[in-house]
Structures are given as C-alpha cells and as structure tokens.
Amino acid sequence: APLAPAAASVPALVERNNWKGSDVQFNITFESARKAHLPKTLIMATGGTIAGSSESNTDSTGYTAGTVGVAALVQAVPELLNVSNIDGMQVINTGSESLSDAFALHISKLANKALCAQDAPYDAVVITHGTDTLEETAYFIDATLQCDKPVVVVGAMRPSTAISADGPNNLLQAVTTAVTPSSVGRGTLIVLNDRIGAAIYTEKTHANTVDTFRAEEPGYLGMLLSDKAFYYQPATQPTFKKVYDVSQVEALPRVDLFMGYQGANLELLNASLALGAKGVVIAGTGSGSISDIGLEHVNEIVSKVPVVRSTKINNGFVVPGAYYPTVISSGVLNPVKTRRLLQILLALGKNASEIRTEFEEPLKSFINFNITSAY
C-alpha cells in the first residue's frame, strides 16, 4: 500500500473540523504527539505528484497525481512530529496543471488567516503542491501574504509509490525549513531536493528530474544538511518585492498568456479580449521582443486592456524600450509570475498607467529611462 506509516510509533491522528473561519474540507491533527515547546505548522495539501501513486514502483510518468490525502502524507513521515506540531488541511487534491485562478486566491486567503490574522493559530504554513504550477502559487502567496511568517511550498517529482520517492524527504525538509527561526522575513520559499529558493526567482526548469527547481541567476538561498536548514545570507526580502492585500478581492480577472516565436502574429489577442480577458501577458522572444505584425495587433488592444511583456527565456530582465512604448515591461518576473501580478493589480482596480508604475518603477533604481504613459 502507498505511504503506509513508516514507524510503529506513529501517533494516531484525530480528524476534526474546528478551525474557526475556514472552509476546509477536513482537518487532521496529531493531538497525542503535541509538544508544548515545538512550533505549530499547518500543512495545506493540494495534490500533485507528491500525493500521487502508481501500480508500478518504477513509474514516474504514467501515475495518477493527487490520489493520496494529507493524513497519509503526514503519517508517512512521523519525523515531522519531532520538529513541529502538525495540523493538516486538504484544500484540494489534484494535479497542479488543473488548479484555477480561484484556487490561488483561496489558498492565499487561507494562508493569511492561518498566519497573519489576529490570534493566527500557526507559526508556519507548508503547502504540498504539484510541481507543474508550483511557482505560480508560491509567487502569488509571496505577493499577497500580510506578515513575515514562513510559507514553504513543496512538491515531488516521483510519486509516493516510486523507488526513492522524493516526497517524504522533501516534506520533512519543507517543515524543517518552515520552523527554522532564520526563515522568517525571507518571503515565500520553495523547498525541494535539499535546496531552498525564493518564490519570486525559483522556477521549474526540467520536465522530469528531481533537481528541477532552480533560481538560475540569483541562485539558492540555502540548503538542507542533515535535516538542518542552512542559509548563505541573513534574512532579506527580494529586491523588487511588493506585497498587496487581496483580502477584499472576490475573483481574479482573466489574463491570457501568449508566446513569441517565428511566425507569431498575435491576431488571437482579439479573440482573447472577446472571451473576457482584462489583461494580456506576452512571453516574448529574447528580452521580450515582439514581432512587427504582433505589435500591430497589440496596438489594436492596448487602449482596452494592459499588455505586459515578459520573456519566454525565463531568465533575465525585460525593461522598457523605445520600440515598445505601448507595452508594459515585466522586469525580472517570468511570464507566469507576470500574469499573477497583473491579475492582482487588475483585481485591486489599478488602471493601465498605475499598472505600468507598479511593474516599471522599481526598475528605475538601476536603469535610466523615462516611464512614458502611452494610454
């Protein structure tokens, strides 16, 4: 059976649903294992390969993601209870490719309640998540969490039934990182495969291997060594990070994402608007370049919705350039994170020139240019 309790001494779990103010499906705790001196961590489980299983222990492609619940995930790693008191919450159980914009908003609100509300019951939150869109949730929470407590997002590349499944150790490392005092004040973190990265910079870089999460240019913040989190530098927040309050936001607007390539003409932008898009992100080629014909189509819609250009290279900067006066530049954010920030800004009612300022103003600190509003 997948994820049978690894040790005879695993305390019995208690299922309950008494976390005030939440709309959780169910909530587990290990009451008998409570230790007064340990911090309290809430594990929010969402599915993914870390909660996946297969008939075959060598299968790392044909398994079903999101089949194992939070109780089994925690029970498979009783060592968690040596570093933290643990509660578990099953937020959803699915492959992360199927997570919606509504999910991102929902889990951000849950994390804020768990950590930042008055009398917030937890010291840290760990989110178990599929890796395919893990960085989108991690960045969204990073940009919307109203306090300094740690949120760590973790996943796995091999299902729970695989030989050398990476999930259990990743989960232990995530909880260990979450309750390490020097994790406070660093923003949302991504922990997999012994490495700790900042949500704003870290992304999935390989479709199959366990060392997939990297922050190619800025590098990792730290690593785990014999189950201790080690940081290379004292706590600091990412350079361009800004935090927004989405507690009053009821839904994120539709924002579509288009990619640049030879022959891309972007005429589908009009279809996107007709389907209700309130903003558009273009994962441009190189440093955010857009084809001449593509730019013509962009210019047909910029008076109606903001268009932000990032880069499909997923590394480096897109800065304002004379050639694209009508388009907003994403700075250091990759396309999917750019999309998340644009959704947040639109949801908060910002107009196009305010959105431009939010994206481009921070870049002024090191690059000399004039922000010109083309609207």
Ligand X SMILES: NC(=O)C[C@H](N)C(=O)O
Site map (CB under 6 A) of ligand X, residues 73-102, x = contact: ----------------------xxx-----
**131 annotated to a ligand binding site:** yes
Name which position in 157, 199, 210, 298 contacts ligand X (CB under 6 A). 157
The bridge status of strand 307-311 relative to strand 328-329 is parallel
| Least separation in angstroms between CB 239 and ligand X | 29
For residue 46, with 0-12 CB atoms within 10 Å meaning exposed, 13-18 middle and 19 or more buried, which class applies? Answer: buried
Collapsed DSSP state (helix, strand, coil) of residue 352: helix
Terminus-to-terminus CA distance in the chain, angstroms?
60
Does the annotation mark 94 as catalytic? no
Site map (CB under 6 A) of ligand X, residues 27-56, x = contact: ---------------------xx-------
| Least separation in angstroms between CB 203 and ligand X | 13
Q: Is there a contact between 367 and 318 (Cβ–Cβ < 8 Å)?
A: no
Site map (CB under 6 A) of ligand X, residues 110-139, x = contact: --------------------xxx-------
| Least separation in angstroms between CB 125 and ligand X | 19
Q: Is there a contact between 333 and 355 (Cβ–Cβ < 8 Å)?
A: no
Site map (CB under 6 A) of ligand X, residues 325-354, x = contact: ------------------------------
Number of residues that bind ligand X (CB under 6 A): 11
| Least separation in angstroms between CB 112 and ligand X | 24
Name which position in 65, 174, 175, 344 contacts ligand X (CB under 6 A). 65
DSSP string, 39-108: -EEEEEE--SGGG-B-SSTT-SSSSBSS-S-HHHHHHT-TTHHHH-EEEEEE---S-GGG--HHHHHHHH
Task: List all residues 6 or more positions away from 82 whose beta carbon is below 8 Å from its beta carbon.
Answer: none
Task: Decide whether 195 or 297 has the Cβ nearer to ligand X.
Answer: 195
| Least separation in angstroms between CB 139 and ligand X | 15
Does the annotation mark 46 as catalytic? no
Task: For the chain, give the number of residues.
Answer: 375
Task: List all residues 6 or more positions away from 237 whose beta carbon is below 8 Å from its beta carbon.
Answer: 185, 186, 187
Task: List all residues 6 or more positions away from 139 whose beta carbon is below 8 Å from its beta carbon.
Answer: 188, 199, 200, 333, 336, 337, 340
Catalytic position from the list 29, 41, 46, 49? 49
Catalytic position from the list 67, 131, 137, 176? 131
| Least separation in angstroms between CB 347 and ligand X | 25
Largest CA distance in the chain: 66
Task: Decide whether 30 or 63 has the Cβ nearer to ligand X.
Answer: 63
Q: ∠25-28-34 over CA atoms, to 5°?
A: 155
**285 annotated to a ligand binding site:** no
**132 annotated to a ligand binding site:** yes
Instruction: Give the chain's count of helices (H) and strands (E).
Output: 9, 16
CA pair distance 16, 264, nearest whole angstrom: 53
Rule CB under 6 A: is residue 155 a binding residue for ligand X?
yes
Minimal CB distance residue for ligand X: 130
Binding residue numbers for substrate: 96, 131-132
- Residues with catalytic roles: 49, 131
Instruction: List residues near ligand X by CB under 6 A.
Output: 48-49, 65, 95-97, 130-132, 155, 157
